[in-house]
Chains A and B, each alone.
Chain A
Amino acid sequence: MKKSYDVLIVGIGGQGTILASNVLGDACVIEGRHVRGAETHGMSQRGGSVETHIRIDGKFGSLIAPGSADLLIAFDMLEAVRYRHFLKDGGTMIVNREMIVPTSVFSAKLPVPQLDDVAVELKSGSAKVVLMNATDIAAKAGSPLAANIVLLGAASHELPLSVASLEEAVRRNVPQKTIAINEQAFALGREAL
């Protein structure tokens, strides 16, 4: 049965979930390990909810079964709520303390969710929950767009991959001129935990 370490990365189209998953995939290749990943394409790029599965040491299918992910990395608190049933009992979630309210809330006149309420909701389960201001940390590193790499830095304490291979994978995946910013983002994210 399962010997893989399963990570679900979730967010909103355009937030860099695929780049983050590529970092994990390349880190596996650097270490000579198998990896499987599944990503959302097509319609979900239009501001939709996006999920990316990465199975470190995975040799079979690329989809993580609900209730069996080891780690959930969320770029948005509401998306963390949406996908947390994928996490195994006692799993870890690392969540950016940010929330983009879906347009559907305003058009359907639903109550607008509040950050603090969502934080309480997230902590109500069995998961170890880490909430961090990844966007602020990324801004300190040089660009708020590097929030995805900040979250990976924080996740590096949990991931069964060496820091060196993660750092190398970051360098391979970000645009050339932003390498320094992203290295800094990774380091600050790692320190924040």
Chain B
Amino acid sequence: MAEERKKQYLLGNAAIAHACLEAGVDFVSGYPGTPSSEVVDTLRGVKDPWYYLEWSVNEKVAFENAIGASWCGCRSIVTMKHVGLNVAADPLMTSAYTGVKGGFVVLSADDPFAHSSQNEQDSRMYAKFAQIPCLDPKDVQQAHDMMTAAWNISEKFSLPVLFRPTTRICHSKSDVALGEETPSPRKGEFVRDPKQYVVIPAHTRPLHAILTKKQAEVAKYLVEAGYNSATVRGERAVIAGGISAAYVEEILPEDISLITIGAYPIDADWLAEVVGKHTEVLVVEELMPVVEEAVRQVAGTVTVHGKLDGYLPHEGEFSTALVAKALLKAGYLKEDPFPPEKQPTAVAVRPPILCPGCLHRSVFYAMKKVFKDGVFPSDIGCYTLGLQMGAVDTTICMGASITVGSGIAHSCPETDVVSTIGDSTFLHTGVNGLINAVYNNTNQTVIILDNRITAMTGHQPNPNTGMTATGVESPKISLEELARACGVSFVESVDPYDLTDLLETLKAAKEKPGVKVIIAKQPCVIMNKRNGVKRSRYVVDAERCNKCGACIRYGCPALEIDENGAAVTTALCTGCGVCADICPAGAIHRGGARQ
């Protein structure tokens, strides 16, 4: 049937978003995080939607909003990246007990190889931990099709369904057959049922028993629905989980069986039966050995290869070429279908860097000037790239700069601690750390890098933007008042393009004990460009340039060295003018007019 439907060349996340429209979603919430962000971004771009949609301040908040909607009988989805699920783990665990009413899908996008993440955790473990079904698509078409069905599964078993695409699904494109959009006919209604929704111990105990009882039914259903299936055609088999199935299918010889696992929990009886038809199996799955452990439990005398005996790595992303190596090692392939790898030629690295004119660069520059021996805890966002300027000493997770900074400040009282955090991250989980730092009398300077948008993930609005996800104006939070309400007495706002003022404010903060908050305000330069803000370029006066390299060390991509060794600005210049303040020779000035 799929072949008859309309086909489009779509990004995985856009196909997933379309599936939400086909299923008649009522409520959408999430917190941006690569690679998940485009699902909500696509849905918020729909004209005249019938559903409610929001970017929430963090994943826990987003999750709890969505489960509330589900309890009113509405179909809801909450989206995040894998590490965001840690933030939402608290309600996740208990929502499996309470169950759902309207279908409730938790999309947690995993990032094998940590393309843009701080770790490679496997969301399937959370599904197992919470005892909820998990759907793990092998390609974009299946991601679309599974997503359409996810709400039915959720409603059938009254359980949240974890949907786990990986980066290579979210950010892959494919010809995808789509179905028709189905506007929702539902109207939310909350029916009081404390035994279900109030998890006091007396209610929790029977709810746990009900949850346990559901597991076997779910596992059986996932086989009946075809998400876990087997094609038996030889003595040996490959068992592939999620996206690995696509890699295996491309190169698997016809006399080797293929067992694909697209959903969890895996029915142990079914698995034992299909594994038992073989003498040897090779399990191929990215990250944790979830399938492999299930296989080993039922394998009996069947030989099992996989991660646990070193045939495949626990870490990183797979590819057809990598899978081919494992098949060769197991003797399932006679020769490598791919040519031997050539060594890439060494070329100067081109890592992502802070944009020309980015406010973060001047803040980091000034910070290093004033706090020469300071410690600089930082956070998750574009500004993590300040690492390249030596201005980021720690990063673990969203909101952890002020809190880690507090730990360091209490442990090393002689050291200046300067924590940096973006506006969105501050509102996500940073503000709790600020409250705690003040309450517990910490000595540290906190710099809120306020570019008024969630830039890293593709410019989603947040409560500091003054606009909701759907473009409706909303009250803009005052970071100054918020900081004061947390008990901070030193709260200063600065323009980071005014280097003199920035340096003076930092020096003033350095002199004072306690928690000092400096809010560095300039809009994201990418947003400025989109909004048509234009500033004239700065240029270098070649006669005045003494080739000292001070501006080059600043690291702005709009500054280069010409063939004579003098500095020049390029067309990338956005006119922030910070380099003019830095130049000791006074050789840099606004284009045309010498200052």
Which residues of A come within 8 Å of B, CB atoms? 1-2, 12-13, 21-22, 25-26, 28-29, 32-49, 59-63, 65-68, 78-79, 81-85, 88-89, 101-108, 110, 112-113, 121
Contact = CB atoms under 8 A, between A and B. Distances in A.
Interface in B487-513: none
A78 to B, nearest CB: 5
B352 A43 contact: yes
Contact of B116 (A35, A42, A62, A88): A42
Interface residues of B, number: 55
B338 interface: yes
B338 A68 contact: yes
Given A34-B175, A66-B342, A107-B553, A47 B243 contact: no
B8 interface: yes
A171 B129 CA distance: 49
B352 A48 contact: yes
B171 interface: yes
B345 A41 contact: no
Given A39-B171, A65-B338, A84-B344, 16 more contacts: A12-B350, A35-B175, A36-B139, A41-B458, A42-B34, A46-B354, A48-B351, A59-B250, A60-B249, A60-B320, A61-B243, A61-B247, A62-B168, A66-B341, A68-B338, A102-B350
Interface of B: 7-9, 11, 34-35, 115-116, 139, 168, 171-175, 243, 246-247, 249-251, 319-321, 337-345, 347-355, 382, 385, 456-458, 552-553, 555-557, 559-561
Contact of B559 (A29, A65, A85, A106): A106
A41 B320 contact: no
A83 B175 CA distance: 26
Nearest to B554: A107
Contacts of A108: 348
Given A82-B345, A85-B345, A103 B174 contact: no
Contacts of A106: 552, 559-561
Nearest to B248: A60
B251 A47 contact: no
Nearest to B354: A46
Nearest to B317: A63
A42 B348 contact: no
Given A42-B35, A46-B382, A28 B342 contact: no
Contacts of A101: 348, 560
Contacts of B341: 66-67, 85
A104 B172 contact: no
Contacts of A62: 168, 172-174
B35 A41 contact: yes
